[in-house]
């Protein structure tokens, strides 16, 4: 086992022999690490935190720390992290609160860039990117393959749909449509399908064409949302069905 002499590993922590713990790292007594994790230096892992395999933690990140919620009273809440994530410098991840379900979750193969924050009870899927200083308030849902741009704050209880791309500096106060490009100029707007991102993820031209057609009905036609949804239901494909279902489930409304 590679644990630097200056690291502090509490009794009760589970650290497999395949892990590497660098200088001045602190691991709390209820932390469970998976195989082949790397803590480069000055990493803080705390709370009831369960971490999968092959995660890399860069200097000065604080993961599993107490939630920034004045109602939190030290209850035994948790954080769960999957496999193969990269957590860069100064990232903060809060564990859950009793009122929010008690567990913050991060999936697998995510990149959390420097200064990103994941607030209590947030649920982040797999293959997601949070760019520098992206900030998730409590109870945020980020679905698989979504990208949140640099310096984007996301309001409590918002959902960012699958394969969505949010441009840097966008203040997100409503749900972000799956497959969409959303950005802020003077006001937040969705700019149709994230075509380049979908192509990079292996979507066929036909899948992208159907998604683009659905967005034209929603954004460009003179139909209201209810009428557009009726027309969208006539289109084929699981992707369009997911888009329709996302809009119908939205409680905060969607950015159009």
Catalytic residue, from 47, 52, 100, 138: name it: 138
149 is a catalytic site residue: no
Least confident of 23-32, 130-139, 178-187, 238-247: 178-187
Is residue 54 predicted with pLDDT exceeding 70? yes
Taking the CA atoms of 238, 209, 149 and 85 in sequence, report the sign of the dihedral they define: positive
Mean pLDDT of 170-181: 95
127 is a catalytic site residue: no
Taking the CA atoms of 211, 212, 217 and 220 in sequence, report the sign of the dihedral they define: positive
Q: How confident is the model at residue 25 (pLDDT cuts 50, 70, 90)?
A: very high
47 plus 118 within the same structural domain: yes
112 plus 27 within the same structural domain: yes
Alpha helices in the chain (DSSP H): 195-200, 205-219, 225-232, 238-249
Indicate whether 167 belongs to any domain: no
Catalytic residue, from 121, 139, 175, 192: name it: 121
Question: What's the pLDDT score for residue 191?
Answer: 82
Q: Which of 125, 142, 159 is the last residue of a domain?
A: 142
**What is the 3-state secondary structure of 131-177?**
CCCCEECCCCEECCCCEECCCCEECCCCEECCCCEECCCCCECCEEC
Listed residue (240, 197, 251, 241) closest to 215, CA to CA: 240
Is residue 184 predicted with pLDDT exceeding 90? no
115-129 burial, b at 16+ Cβ within 10 Å, e below that, comes to bbbbbbbbbbbbbbb
Question: What's the pLDDT score for residue 222?
Answer: 86
Alpha helices in 62-219 (DSSP H): 195-200, 205-219
CA pair distance 26, 23, nearest whole angstrom: 9
Indicate whether 150 belongs to any domain: no
**Percentage of the chain surpassing pLDDT 70?**
98
**Percentage of the chain surpassing pLDDT 90?**
92
19 plus 108 within the same structural domain: yes
138 is a catalytic site residue: yes
Indicate whether 153 belongs to any domain: no
138 plus 231 within the same structural domain: no
Question: What's the pLDDT score for residue 192?
Answer: 84
What is the chain's Cα-based Rg? 20
Question: What's the pLDDT score for residue 190?
Answer: 79
116 plus 209 within the same structural domain: no
Mean pLDDT of 197-223: 93
Q: How confident is the model at residue 7 (pLDDT cuts 50, 70, 90)?
A: very high
Q: How confident is the model at residue 220 (pLDDT cuts 50, 70, 90)?
A: confident
| Block residue for tokens 């791309």 | 165
Q: How confident is the model at residue 188 (pLDDT cuts 50, 70, 90)?
A: low
Catalytic residue, from 58, 117, 120, 139: name it: 120
Q: How confident is the model at residue 185 (pLDDT cuts 50, 70, 90)?
A: low
114 plus 24 within the same structural domain: yes
Say which CATH number the domain at 242 has. Answer: 1.20.1180.10
The domain containing residue 230 runs over which residues?
197-249
Q: How confident is the model at residue 144 (pLDDT cuts 50, 70, 90)?
A: very high
Domain count, the chain: 2
Tokens of 209: 């064409």
Q: How confident is the model at residue 125 (pLDDT cuts 50, 70, 90)?
A: very high
122 plus 221 within the same structural domain: no
Tokens of 120: 């209590």
Say which CATH number the domain at 84 has. Answer: 2.160.10.10
Question: What's the pLDDT score for residue 62?
Answer: 98
Q: Are strands 111-112 and 129-130 parallel, antiparallel or unpaired?
A: parallel
Mean pLDDT of 188-198: 85
Indicate whether 162 belongs to any domain: no
Query: CA angle, corner 246, sides to 178 and 173, nearest 5?
Result: 70
């Amino acid at each position: 086992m590679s644990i630097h002499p200056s690291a502090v590993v509490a009794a009760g922590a589970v650290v497999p022999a395949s892990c590497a713990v660098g200088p001045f790292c602190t691991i709390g007594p209820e932390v469970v690490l998976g195989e082949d994790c790397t803590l480069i230096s000055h990493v803080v892992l705390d709370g009831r935190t369960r971490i999968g395999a092959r995660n890399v933690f860069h200097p000065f990140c604080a993961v599993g720390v107490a939630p920034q919620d004045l109602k939190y009273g030290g209850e035994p809440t948790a954080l769960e992290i999957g496999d193969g994530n990269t957590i860069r410098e100064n990232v903060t991840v809060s564990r859950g609160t009793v009122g929010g379900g008690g567990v913050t979750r991060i999936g697998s193969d995510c990149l959390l860039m420097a200064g990103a924050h994941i607030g209590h009870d947030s649920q982040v899927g797999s293959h997601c990117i949070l760019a520098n200083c992206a900030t998730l308030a409590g109870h945020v849902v980020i679905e698989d393959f979504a990208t949140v741009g640099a310096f984007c704050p996301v309001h409590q209880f918002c959902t960012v749909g699958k394969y969505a791309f949010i441009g840097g500096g966008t203040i997100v106060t409503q749900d972000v449509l799956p497959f969409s490009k959303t950005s802020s100029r003077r006001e937040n707007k969705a700019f149709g399908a994230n075509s380049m991102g979908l192509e990079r993820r292996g979507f066929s031209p036909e899948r992208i064409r159907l998604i683009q057609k659905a967005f034209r009905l929603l954004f460009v036609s003179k139909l209201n949302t209810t009428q557009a949804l009726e027309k969208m239901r006539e289109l084929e494909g699981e992707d369009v069905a997911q888009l329709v279902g996302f809009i119908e489930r939205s409680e905060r409304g969607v950015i159009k």
